[in-house]
Amino acid sequence: MSGGNTFLGMPAFPRNAAAAVQDSQLRFNLRKATHTIRGKRASVVAELPDWAELRAAGKEIKDHTLRNLERYLLQMEEAVTAAGGHVHWAADAEEANRIVADLVKATGETSVVKVKSMATQEIGLNEALQAEGITAYETDLAELIVQLGDDWPSHILVPAIHRNRSEIREIFHDKMADWGRAAPEGLTDEPRALADAARLHLRERFLSTKVAVSGANFMIAETGTLVVLESEGNGRMCLTLPETLISVVGIEKLLPSWRDLEVFLQLLPRSSTGERMNPYTSTWTGAVEGQEFHLVLLDNGRTQVLADEVGRQALRCIRCSACLNVCPVYERAGGHAYGSVYPGPIGAILTPQLRGMGSALDASLPYASTLCGACFEACPVAIDIPEVLVHLRGKARHPRTERLGMRAAGWVFNRPARLARAQRLGGRFRRFVPGRLPGPLSAWTDTRDIPDIPAESFRDWWNRTDGGAR
């Protein structure tokens, strides 16, 4: 379903996007949803006179933590252990999945409830557990829709953003019974009715499941505390009811101290849901009476990203998805085209760094942007996404024809006389330039005319007239 492996063998971004853009229902849903959140975000951000300072502080705190990551990770481990929790280190997805599966098996249970978490999607935990005979139940409303629909998430924060109300009603009506309590008779597509159906379905699950798996938005090294921000309260049910709690958290989620959290509790809700404050913020430190706690610290390519001086800023990301909501490419291509649990602008710089650029899809992601800069402007931790995109393009493999074309253009631009000769050649044959260009350039003339080529370039005009004096 939503695992890391299911994206294997997907075509490159341009093809996925070209297919998605044809789907008018999808385009309508996405446009409506992204523009609504975009507007809300803009107005709550504008309310804060010190937003620029908060943003700078968020960037600085994250950079400081990343520079001293080892120290803070060890501090985190020590604090969690002292509070009765168990800390596990996972170098990659396989190791993390193994650890979680073994921990669940040790409890004797065959099902877990899940708090919405990007890290566990990144490693394909649900599928890995399935292979061991353990069923993972998503409890976030949107993740539930995705899971029941046997679908992939298409947005970080609103995974079912590509679905509208009537589609959701259909999924609930058809699929809920297969996973537990069936949808009530006569279910309508009223938001209230849908939420009630989900509530009844999930409530049974919360009360009967003994193991929960979560991620975390932040980890505080000073005290060993984990922090989850959410809107629905489902997360809190998962975090508090079960007898065993396993949290899988990327190593870059650390903050040094409680004081630092103040900055992020302002940056994150306003950037993500466009709310001044999210409804539920849960924090926990180690084990509590009646609950065993395990923390799995996940690397899975992150230390490799950290080694790249330009690319490492992607690790500042707090997964708010503001960059998705303002991105004109995401708005039209949808999340699935990016072939990763991280779609949109952040996905375009994170996925190729975490997975490498070996596949056609991953190598095409840095090009899934016009470099318009809307993402950078919206990012609450000032990740210069266009800078990283350009940096990754410099490391990508290029098609042969493009390489030759670029080399030829470079050769022409290296000498003004060559440029002038090329321009004159173009001017002489301008009448013969076809309205539809051949080869890769047909991509231009399929929907656009090419401009008329002038008989005389600017430089020839300047030379002939002495800058207009003659």
Partner 1 sequence: MRVALFITCVNDTLFPGTGQAVVTLLRRLGCDVEFPRAQTCCGQMHVNTGYPEEGTRLARHFVDVFAGYDAVVAPSGSCAAMVREQYPRLARATTPSFAGEVAEMVPKVHDLSEFLVDVLGVTDVGAYFPHRVTYHPTCHSLRGLHLGDRPTRLLEQVRGLELVPLPGAEECCGFGGTFAVKNPAISAAMCGDKVRNVTSTGAEVLCAADNSCLMHIGGTLTRQRAGVRIMHLAEILATTEATR
Which residues contribute to the site for partner 1 (CB under 8 A)? Answer: 13-14, 17-18, 21, 27, 328-329, 332-333, 366-374, 376-377, 387, 390, 393-396, 398, 402, 406-407, 409-410, 412-416, 419, 423, 426, 440-441, 443-444, 446-451, 453-454, 456-459, 461-463, 467-468
Q: Which does 346 bind (CB under 5 to 8 A by kind): ligand SF4, partner 1, none?
A: ligand SF4
Q: How far apart are CA 311 and CA 305, in angstroms?
A: 6
380 binds ligand SF4 (CB under 6 A): yes
Tell me which of 197, 226, 254, 346 binds ligand SF4, using CB under 6 A.
346
Closest CB to partner 1 among residues 307, 414 = 414
Tell me which of 118, 383, 388, 389 binds ligand SF4, using CB under 6 A.
383
Closest CB to ligand SF4 among residues 134, 381 = 381
Q: How far apart are CA 217 and CA 382, in angstroms?
A: 18
Alpha helices in 22-131 (DSSP H): 24-46, 51-67, 69-82, 93-107, 118-122, 125-131
Least CB distance to ligand SF4 at residue 348 (A): 10
354 binds ligand SF4 (CB under 6 A): no
Q: How far apart are CA 137 and CA 323, in angstroms?
A: 29
- Which are the contacts of 429, defined by CB distance < 8 A and separation ≥ 6? none
- Which are the contacts of 299, defined by CB distance < 8 A and separation ≥ 6? 89, 90, 91, 92, 251
The burial class, CB within 10 Å (0-12 / 13-18 / 19+), for 206 is middle
Least CB distance to ligand SF4 at residue 250 (A): 12
Site map (CB under 6 A) of ligand SF4, residues 309-328, x = contact: --------xxxxxxx-----
The two three-digit tokens of residue 51, written as one number: 């937003």
Q: How far apart are CA 370 and CA 238, in angstroms?
A: 41
381 binds ligand SF4 (CB under 6 A): yes
CA 48 to chain centre: 26
Q: How far apart are CA 330 and CA 334, in angstroms?
A: 5
Q: How far apart are CA 41 and CA 374, in angstroms?
A: 13
Q: Which does 368 bind (CB under 5 to 8 A by kind): ligand SF4, partner 1, none?
A: partner 1
**Residues between 268 and 297 that touch ligand SF4 (CB under 6 A):** 271
Least CB distance to ligand SF4 at residue 59 (A): 10
Closest CB to partner 1 among residues 64, 393 = 393
Quick one: which segment of 77-85, 236-244, 375-383, 415-423 binds ligand SF4 (CB under 6 A)? 375-383
Tell me which of 378, 388, 389, 392 binds ligand SF4, using CB under 6 A.
378
3-state class percentages of the chain: helix first, strand second, coil last, to nearest 5? 55, 10, 35
Closest CB to ligand SF4 among residues 214, 217 = 217
Closest CB to ligand SF4 among residues 162, 294 = 162
- Which are the contacts of 245, defined by CB distance < 8 A and separation ≥ 6? 211, 212, 213, 214, 238, 239, 284, 291, 292, 293, 294
Residue given tokens 């958290």 in the structure block: 249
Least CB distance to ligand SF4 at residue 308 (A): 16
Closest CB to ligand SF4 among residues 100, 368 = 368
CB-based contact 79:222 (threshold 8 Å):
yes
Contacting residues toward ligand SF4, per CB under 6 A: 271, 317-323, 346, 378-381, 383
